Chains A and B, each alone.
Chain A
């Protein structure tokens, strides 16, 4: 029930925020913050009464009883559709990331959103609910439902509260995700049909479908359906073009959620569904996926370097960083997978913070064009220092979370493909180039003495401090995260090894 409650609190909280606007302009944001905090506290309290041992137990991917939490009840029995939710270490990490960044996003929307605040916060909470559902749903039908549910409120957030070109960006975002989502739906249905013709049982349950025997050719196409859906969301090269537009046009809170959490659903889907459901096809496809990942790393970095729009630059840096995740997933060994999980968490924090800074700049300067900035450190030293921190985090300074992630991924990748590692390592150099250019163009250089700008206040500093501490913690003592993810990664590796071993 815990998992259902987590989602329900957010959905109901969304309605509460919507209604609360009648009582005052500033009520919805407080309601939203309270709802997210309530969710977080509820989760923490529930976890604290659980026996700790289960955390460290290696779950069998195909045995729901070995997972941390599992809930299942009938929904549409005629087709074997159930309301089935389950959580293991990976999901748990993602749920935490979602809720923490959810709180950050509410903070980011504090002064940014001016109109229809109640509806905005409601959309925010509903997106979070959809994302939580995606991270916990283990029934593929339910998963697809949540996949769509998180899309629609996000669409509204971009389309209603976005910037000058919001209609285009929102539509592009919607079409990309929708089309790829439909491909996934086709794959899901075909997979279920194959399973039905094999066993005579209709089921959408992840645990039942895991061991489906599929003809090689069919498996490849079905895998491709999942792969494209997740890679579009990730976003991987060459399906990334919706991201810069969506990010640039979205309101700050939208960007935070989009970069921090929504992109992670793609990575999560790859690890959870695309590879384990079709291990053999995935192994055969891995070289192509790895090349796409490396291409994304370098391409995103080069494009980020060419941008003049602050948010667009960060958006392309996300493309580059998520390329690392793709590399980590398809290198498919313990080092790289752990690195990919780390990258999901660390990138969530570093990019969310950078988007918040971008939002704060836009709020103060009414522009995102870096050619109109420069020397802002002088005007806003606190914001400058914070920006410097997250910029060096994003370029992979050791001691901060992103470094651990990228190092593990590249180390794991090196054992798979050495030349590809060399190419992906170029991302470290080009990453430095665009990150420092961002710093130079906005905060350094000739200051404009006539500008009267307010520096970060205590609310913003508090939000930033949360993320800074998180990144330092991840960088210097990543073990807790690695330990939570380890059993999952080991379970997946064992599972795919036995399956492919059998097939071979």
Chain B
């Protein structure tokens, strides 16, 4: 059984290859069956593997083959399976299956149906490789693999150049992080002589002390990879643009799975991070600032998918915060619950967009509560979980994070306070979305209704988003034990109350309109701030000026090949020499004679002079 674990990644990959090779020859039914079925089988196998593992919770390792062997560098294509792997695989295959099913309806009119499922299956395979990898090099394979699939899917509708731009931006910005991560791998291998994750932990603990520079450097480089993939400051700018892809793609890749790969990576290498406290503080601070920045930005957006994108950035910020304060399992727990409710939110928004002539602007929606009840309830539940209202899944995970942040020695209470502000903002923007889209007067009439292939995934995700908080993830063996000391009661009470306050504010402002903010919003200073937030804190603008434009400029300057100027100089010197010498070859007989005579005289003079 355990030896067959490789199949879980292999089946979607095979299906993807089949879809590519059979492009244009397969019927839609076959494509759908292949696409959804392969992930379904993978999900079933994962479930079986999970039951097996829960009965006998012993991590195991399967080596399929040695990838390459050069000197003492011998990474294998090997799988490591423990509780963390199981959680990740369950999320990927489970949520992935629901999203695939949803896609069959969402994409049914698209002419590139097979290409879509080929990419999506390939993504699932790459993501599974990422989480199943036993060593960092194989993880890197999955890591880049999901990056390419994300590129392909964001630019899926390639006919529009804007989508292509967004896709390239997504790939290149994450590539910057990936390169940092690759450097981290070089450093780890050079220092520790291995890339096997388990062996790395042992070797690092044997060689380094807590607070050494080497683990700090390695952790910061890995963090570079993580912030790129997980869209954290300063490499988050690609995610809002990545919404150009089909909405189920956003749900699967840019909410539930790929963007959380950074969280997984840091959790996976937590033994290194424990040796570098400064790196952990950096993780926490990156998480917190990103979370706040994105929350403020989400408040001002109008595009439903962009709001959700910024909210994803913000929620991953929470996960980073959790990792930074050493609340490893809380971070992974939030990763899982976030996958449930954010996938739910994205799919519901997809349903709205699907039924509303591809309308993205929330102010052109409104009053959809009675027209799209299934979607309304899905969205409601998703938003409640996102806002962490009590008893939803998001509540359990976010509460854990905040409480453990509070307990961190030193800056803990400040991190907690920051997290609370973020939670407040989250509640406000998520319910702003609910009230604006589903209540009030209708601005656009839906022209389609959701079929069962959309309704079933939505309902199942609703259940998970509501009840997912009760799942106990089997990661106790993976991470060091967190202290179960509970902070003061008021801390818990405040943590619970803040999201409710946020919902109340949203209600007053956007539903009952009792709290009128027009005066405040229209003030010139607020206008400016709003604009600043709307533009994502001007970071895109800044990067454009500092990196993109100069690079284009450099390429344009160099295009004429300055090095060639050197060789052209040689050519020109030769040419002028030629020109100069050929002057003498004029064909003027008398000049020839004159120069002959002159030469003769000179020669004679020399001869006589010498003699």
Does A touch B (CB under 8 Å) in the complex? yes
Q: State the A residues within 8 Å of B (CB).
A: 237-238, 240-241, 244, 299, 302-303, 305-307, 333-335, 338-339, 375, 377-378, 381, 385, 388, 392, 397-399, 403-404, 407-408, 410-411, 414-415, 421-422, 425-426, 428-429, 432-433, 436-437, 440, 443-447, 476-479, 482, 486
CB closest chain-A residue, reference B178: A428
A240–B178 Cα gap in the complex (Å)? Answer: 29
In order of increasing CB-CB distance, the 4 nearest A-B pairs are A306-B555, A398-B141, A444-B158, A306-B559
Shortest Cβ distance from A102 into chain B, in angstroms? Answer: 27
Give residues 43-87 of B contacting A (CB, 8 Å).
Answer: 65-71, 73, 77
CB closest chain-A residue, reference B557: A306
Stretch at the interface among B394-402, B562-570, B596-604: B562-570
A-B contact pairs, 25 of them (CB 8 A): A241-B563, A303-B558, A305-B551, A307-B559, A333-B71, A381-B24, A392-B148, A398-B141, A399-B145, A410-B182, A414-B186, A414-B189, A421-B186, A425-B182, A432-B175, A436-B151, A436-B171, A444-B158, A444-B161, A444-B164, A446-B159, A477-B67, A478-B67, A482-B69, A486-B70
Max chain B CB contacts within 10 Å: which of A399, A432, A446, A478? A432
Shortest Cβ distance from B159 into chain A, in angstroms? Answer: 6
Q: Which residues of A contact B171 (CB under 8 A)?
A: 432, 436
Q: Which residues of B contact A238 (CB under 8 A)?
A: 563, 566
Whether the Cβ atoms of B168 and A436 lie closer than 8 Å is: yes
Max chain B CB contacts within 10 Å: which of A299, A339, A377, A399? A399
A446–B137 Cα gap in the complex (Å)? Answer: 38
Whether the Cβ atoms of B65 and A440 lie closer than 8 Å is: no
Shortest Cβ distance from A173 into chain B, in angstroms? Answer: 12
Extra contacts besides A415-B190, A429-B175 (9): CB < 8 Å? A241-B561, A398-B140, A411-B73, A411-B185, A411-B189, A414-B187, A429-B179, A446-B161, A482-B68
Whether the Cβ atoms of A335 and B182 lie closer than 8 Å is: no
Q: B204 near A: Cβ within 8 Å? A: no
The proximity string for B residues 9-29 relative to A, scoring 1 for CB distances below 8 Å and 0 otherwise, is 000000000001001100000
The proximity string for B residues 155-181 relative to A, scoring 1 for CB distances below 8 Å and 0 otherwise, is 100111100110110011001101100
Shortest Cβ distance from B16 into chain A, in angstroms? Answer: 12
Q: Which residues of A contact B65 (CB under 8 A)?
A: 477
CB closest chain-B residue, reference A427: B179
A422–B187 Cα gap in the complex (Å)? Answer: 11
CB closest chain-B residue, reference A308: B559
Q: B556 near A: Cβ within 8 Å? A: yes
A385–B179 Cα gap in the complex (Å)? Answer: 26
Q: Which residues of A contact B567 (CB under 8 A)?
A: 241
From known contacts A375-B159, A432-B171, A476-B77, infer whether A302 and B176 are also in contact, taking CB-CB under 8 Å.
Answer: no
Shortest Cβ distance from B561 into chain A, in angstroms? Answer: 6
Q: Which residues of A contact B160 (CB under 8 A)?
A: 446
Shortest Cβ distance from A472 into chain B, in angstroms? Answer: 10
A477–B64 Cα gap in the complex (Å)? Answer: 11
Whether the Cβ atoms of B158 and A303 lie closer than 8 Å is: no
Q: B183 near A: Cβ within 8 Å? A: yes
Max chain B CB contacts within 10 Å: which of A307, A333, A407? A407
Whether the Cβ atoms of B144 and A237 lie closer than 8 Å is: no
Q: B554 near A: Cβ within 8 Å? A: yes
Q: B164 touches which one: A397, A407, A445 (CB < 8 A)?
A: A445
Whether the Cβ atoms of A397 and B144 lie closer than 8 Å is: yes
Q: A398 touches which one: B71, B144, B155 (CB < 8 A)?
A: B144
A437–B182 Cα gap in the complex (Å)? Answer: 23
From known contacts A436-B171, A436-B172, infer whether A303 and B161 are also in contact, taking CB-CB under 8 Å.
Answer: no
CB closest chain-B residue, reference A237: B563
Whether the Cβ atoms of A428 and B556 lie closer than 8 Å is: no
From known contacts A335-B73, A410-B186, infer whether A378 and B558 are also in contact, taking CB-CB under 8 Å.
Answer: no
Whether the Cβ atoms of B179 and A381 lie closer than 8 Å is: no
Q: Which residues of A contact B558 (CB under 8 A)?
A: 299, 302-303, 306
Q: B183 touches which one: A299, A399, A422 (CB < 8 A)?
A: A422
Q: Which residues of B contact A415 (CB under 8 A)?
A: 190
A409–B383 Cα gap in the complex (Å)? Answer: 49
A407–B558 Cα gap in the complex (Å)? Answer: 28
A208–B171 Cα gap in the complex (Å)? Answer: 52
CB closest chain-A residue, reference B141: A398
A237–B566 Cα gap in the complex (Å)? Answer: 13
Q: Which residues of A contact B563 (CB under 8 A)?
A: 237-238, 240-241
A404–B254 Cα gap in the complex (Å)? Answer: 28
Q: Which residues of B contact A241 (CB under 8 A)?
A: 561, 563-564, 567
Whether the Cβ atoms of B141 and A399 lie closer than 8 Å is: yes
A244–B559 Cα gap in the complex (Å)? Answer: 11
Whether the Cβ atoms of B69 and A479 lie closer than 8 Å is: yes
A421–B145 Cα gap in the complex (Å)? Answer: 23
Shortest Cβ distance from B111 into chain A, in angstroms? Answer: 10
A447–B112 Cα gap in the complex (Å)? Answer: 15
Q: Which residues of B contact A381 (CB under 8 A)?
A: 23-24
Q: Which residues of B contact A244 (CB under 8 A)?
A: 561
Q: Which residues of A contact B554 (CB under 8 A)?
A: 302
Shortest Cβ distance from B129 into chain A, in angstroms? Answer: 9
Shortest Cβ distance from B160 into chain A, in angstroms? Answer: 8
Whether the Cβ atoms of A335 and B70 lie closer than 8 Å is: yes
Q: A440 touches which one: B24, B144, B161 (CB < 8 A)?
A: B161
A91–B164 Cα gap in the complex (Å)? Answer: 43
Whether the Cβ atoms of A397 and B161 lie closer than 8 Å is: no
Q: Which residues of A contact B151 (CB under 8 A)?
A: 436
Shortest Cβ distance from A370 into chain B, in angstroms? Answer: 13
Q: Which residues of A contact B73 (CB under 8 A)?
A: 335, 408, 411
A303–B551 Cα gap in the complex (Å)? Answer: 11
Q: Which residues of B contact A392 (CB under 8 A)?
A: 148
Shortest Cβ distance from A183 into chain B, in angstroms? Answer: 15
Q: Which residues of B contact A476 (CB under 8 A)?
A: 67, 77
Shortest Cβ distance from B91 into chain A, in angstroms? Answer: 23
Shortest Cβ distance from A64 into chain B, in angstroms? Answer: 26
A288–B65 Cα gap in the complex (Å)? Answer: 39
Shortest Cβ distance from B353 into chain A, in angstroms? Answer: 23
Shortest Cβ distance from B556 into chain A, in angstroms? Answer: 6
Whether the Cβ atoms of A303 and B555 lie closer than 8 Å is: yes
A428–B179 Cα gap in the complex (Å)? Answer: 7
Max chain A CB contacts within 10 Å: which of B66, B563, B566? B563
Whether the Cβ atoms of B190 and A414 lie closer than 8 Å is: yes
A240–B77 Cα gap in the complex (Å)? Answer: 38
From known contacts A410-B186, A428-B179, A429-B172, infer whether A334 and B70 are also in contact, taking CB-CB under 8 Å.
Answer: yes
Q: B158 touches which one: A397, A399, A445, A478 (CB < 8 A)?
A: A445
A410–B178 Cα gap in the complex (Å)? Answer: 14
Max chain A CB contacts within 10 Å: which of B70, B137, B152, B161? B70
Whether the Cβ atoms of B71 and A334 lie closer than 8 Å is: yes
Q: Which residues of B contact A240 (CB under 8 A)?
A: 563
From known contacts A399-B141, A414-B186, A425-B183, infer whether A302 and B161 are also in contact, taking CB-CB under 8 Å.
Answer: no
Shortest Cβ distance from B132 into chain A, in angstroms? Answer: 15
Whether the Cβ atoms of B20 and A385 lie closer than 8 Å is: yes
A470–B302 Cα gap in the complex (Å)? Answer: 49
Whether the Cβ atoms of B182 and A428 lie closer than 8 Å is: yes
A445–B157 Cα gap in the complex (Å)? Answer: 9
Whether the Cβ atoms of A378 and B179 lie closer than 8 Å is: no
Q: Which residues of A contact B158 (CB under 8 A)?
A: 375, 377, 443-445
CB closest chain-B residue, reference A316: B561
Q: Which residues of B contact A302 (CB under 8 A)?
A: 551, 554-555, 558
A482–B182 Cα gap in the complex (Å)? Answer: 21
The proximity string for B residues 222-252 relative to A, scoring 1 for CB distances below 8 Å and 0 otherwise, is 0000000000000000000000000000000
The proximity string for B residues 101-121 relative to A, scoring 1 for CB distances below 8 Å and 0 otherwise, is 000000000000000000000
Q: Which residues of A contact B145 (CB under 8 A)?
A: 397-399
Max chain A CB contacts within 10 Å: which of B67, B143, B176, B186? B186
Q: Which residues of A contact B187 (CB under 8 A)?
A: 414
Q: Which residues of B contact A338 (CB under 8 A)?
A: 70
A445–B168 Cα gap in the complex (Å)? Answer: 12
Shortest Cβ distance from B117 into chain A, in angstroms? Answer: 14
CB closest chain-A residue, reference B566: A238
A397–B152 Cα gap in the complex (Å)? Answer: 13
